[in-house]
Amino acid sequence: MNSNNSDAGSSGNSHDGGGNSGRDGCTTLLLARAALTRLMEPSDLPGLALIRLLGPEEALGFIRSSNTTNPGVEQEMTEVLQDSGTPRWDGLAAALERWRPRLADLAPERDLATVDRLGGRLLVPEDPQWPQGLADLELAAPIALWCRGTAPAIPAQERCIAVVGSRDSTSYGANVTAEITHSLVQRGYTVVSGGAYGIDANAHRGALSATAGGTPAGPGTPQPATIAVMAGGVDRFYPSGNDELLRTIAGRGLVVAEVPPGTNPTRYRFLQRNRLIAALCQVTVVVEARWRSGALNTARHAEMLSRMVGAVPGSVYSANSAGCHRLLRDGAAICVTDAADVAELAGGAGENLGTEQPVEAALYDGLGTSDLLLLDALPLRTATTLEKLCVVAGLSPATVLSGLGRLESLGLAQPGSGGWKRKGQ
């Protein structure tokens, strides 16, 4: 943040708070971004274009002022939107009309005080702790993140794994989720999920189970075990049945939202929330999902961000695995069966140790074709002659002789009365 840099105000960036410098610049920046998170819905691209052009404080001032006719700003916004793949938009006047009704409700000081009282803070892109992975969202990156919890920061993308799935998980899905997330945290990863029933809740519980018993993680904790990304405000735990769980996460991990305190979750905000989960994580794992499930939306976001997607397979008779199988069939996800598979997808150095299952020692692996043919030809009980072995194995006498030597030394053949037979097994 600018508070770390007293020269921030004189750095020549005319958009970065104008005349406000030092501590004041930081405060007005926080207040402006706090206000903008209430003014604009998530992924409001014209709004985000305006913020990119003018900086948060000036953008807020621009919206507050009555000057709606600014062809220069509108033209620049159009260019930013075009560069971001949004060739058509409804224009500045329409956007201002959309934002203005909410101007009267802005109370950024109150919102910042609320999150402060909850033991959290507003994380802004200007903060060095801002998660770099969100940059891949480009223009749709959030204005700021309201964070509630004692964890010092959201870990780097490389250490975060999203584990998502359907609300109506089966006991199979619950077990797999708990095992994978527990093991991921043990391997040093942070689990990221939503706050829903089912797989989301299982993921958080599995992650929490891998950290120290009942002791809340202190500020010295290297990274949180789990992060819940909410569609509503961080003071509005939804669904209420997960209230206790989300309270625990706020105490021992992080609860995060891009909408300000007091905001209700809506369908639109749930869908937008999913892009944050995907963008914060190196890998998104779908444990269970029906043919049509919100978890698939998160997987699609991850795919669009070129992040790895893993899907856990299950019974073909389970409707709760149909979405996972769909992802696998479409090549949109890699098959993962345990935390080792997930860690390998995340590409962590040394994390793929132990992924390969121990293969039973195969006695015949080192044998060449002719020795294999010879071994097949050797009788188990009564020894047979060299000539008979040639016929049965389809090998020349020289090959049979040298092969018998090799098989004997491996303990697979033994000479007997009148010839050779199998040994061992």
Question: What is the distance of C-alpha 358 from the center of its chain?
Answer: 28
**Which range of residues in 134-142, 199-207, 220-228, 391-399 is near its own copies by CB under 8 A?**
391-399
Do 374 and 393 form a contact (C-beta atoms < 8 A)? Answer: yes
Do 124 and 30 form a contact (C-beta atoms < 8 A)? Answer: yes
Q: Strands 190-193, 226-229: parallel, antiparallel or unpaired by DSSP?
A: parallel
**Nearest alpha carbon to residue 32 among 13, 11, 54, 8:** 54
DSSP 69-128: --HHHHHHHHHHHHHTT-----HHHHHHHHHGGGGGG--HHHHHHHHHHTTEEEE-TTST
Instruction: Give the nearest distance from C-beta 91 to its own copies in angstroms.
Output: 11
DSSP 17-70: STT--HHHHHHHHHHHHHHHHHHS-TT-HHHHHHHHHH-HHHHHHHHHSS----
Instruction: Give the nearest distance from C-beta 423 to its own copies in angstroms.
Output: 16
The set of residues, in sequence order, having a beta carbon less than 8 Å from that of 328 and lying 6+ positions away, is 311, 313, 335
Instruction: Tell me whether residue 54 or residue 322 sits nearer to its own copies (CB atom).
Output: 322
The correct pick among 360, 380, 417, 425 for binding its own copies (CB under 8 A) is: 360
Q: Determine the Cα–Cα distance for residues 152 and 175; give it in Å rounded to an integer.
A: 30
Q: Determine the Cα–Cα distance for residues 98 and 266; give it in Å rounded to an integer.
A: 18
Instruction: Give the nearest distance from C-beta 291 to its own copies in angstroms.
Output: 5
Q: Determine the Cα–Cα distance for residues 219 and 316; give it in Å rounded to an integer.
A: 45
Do 166 and 290 form a contact (C-beta atoms < 8 A)? Answer: yes
Q: Is residue 172 at the binding interface for its own copies, with CB under 8 A as the rule? A: yes
Do 224 and 155 form a contact (C-beta atoms < 8 A)? Answer: yes
Sites for its own copies among residues 395-424 (CB under 8 A): 395-399
Instruction: Tell me whether residue 116 or residue 330 sits nearer to its own copies (CB atom).
Output: 330
Instruction: Tell me whether residue 52 or residue 326 sits nearer to its own copies (CB atom).
Output: 326
Sign of the dihedral through C-alpha 409, 411, 412, 418? positive
Sites for its own copies among residues 180-219 (CB under 8 A): none
Q: Beta-carbon neighbour count of residue 331 at 10 Å?
A: 8
Question: What is the distance of C-alpha 298 from the center of its chain?
Answer: 9
Instruction: Tell me whether residue 205 or residue 269 sits nearer to its own copies (CB atom).
Output: 269
The correct pick among 364, 405, 411, 424 for binding its own copies (CB under 8 A) is: 364
Instruction: Give the nearest distance from C-beta 217 to its own copies in angstroms.
Output: 30
Q: Is residue 62 at the binding interface for its own copies, with CB under 8 A as the rule? A: no
The correct pick among 112, 286, 309, 377 for binding its own copies (CB under 8 A) is: 377
Binding mask 8-47 for its own copies (x = CB under 8 A): -------------------------------xxx--x---
The correct pick among 277, 280, 390, 413 for binding its own copies (CB under 8 A) is: 390
Sites for its own copies among residues 276-335 (CB under 8 A): 291-292, 312-317, 321-322, 324-325, 328-329, 331, 334-335
Angle made by CA atoms 417, 421, 424, in degrees to the nearest 5: 125
Instruction: Give the nearest distance from C-beta 216 to its own copies in angstroms.
Output: 32
Instruction: Give the nearest distance from C-beta 325 to its own copies in angstroms.
Output: 5
Q: Strands 308-311, 334-335: parallel, antiparallel or unpaired by DSSP?
A: parallel
Sites for its own copies among residues 235-274 (CB under 8 A): 266-269
Size of the site for its own copies (CB under 8 A): 62
Instruction: Tell me whether residue 24 or residue 138 sits nearer to its own copies (CB atom).
Output: 138
Instruction: Give the nearest distance from C-beta 264 to its own copies in angstroms.
Output: 9
Instruction: Tell me whether residue 172 or residue 251 sits nearer to its own copies (CB atom).
Output: 172
**Nearest alpha carbon to residue 115 among 216, 244, 236:** 236
The correct pick among 67, 387, 405, 411 for binding its own copies (CB under 8 A) is: 387
- What the block records as the tokens of 43 is 């992924």
Instruction: Give the nearest distance from C-beta 98 to its own copies in angstroms.
Output: 4
Instruction: Tell me whether residue 394 or residue 424 sits nearer to its own copies (CB atom).
Output: 394
Position 201, amino acid:
A
Sites for its own copies among residues 92-151 (CB under 8 A): 94-95, 97-102, 104-105
Distance between start and end Cα atoms, the chain:
71
Q: Is residue 337 at the binding interface for its own copies, with CB under 8 A as the rule? A: yes
Q: Is residue 391 at the binding interface for its own copies, with CB under 8 A as the rule? A: yes
Q: Which residues would be at the binding site for its own copies (CB under 8 A)?
A: 39-41, 44, 94-95, 97-102, 104-105, 172, 175-176, 266-269, 291-292, 312-317, 321-322, 324-325, 328-329, 331, 334-338, 341, 357, 359-360, 362, 364, 369, 372-373, 375-377, 387, 390-391, 394-399
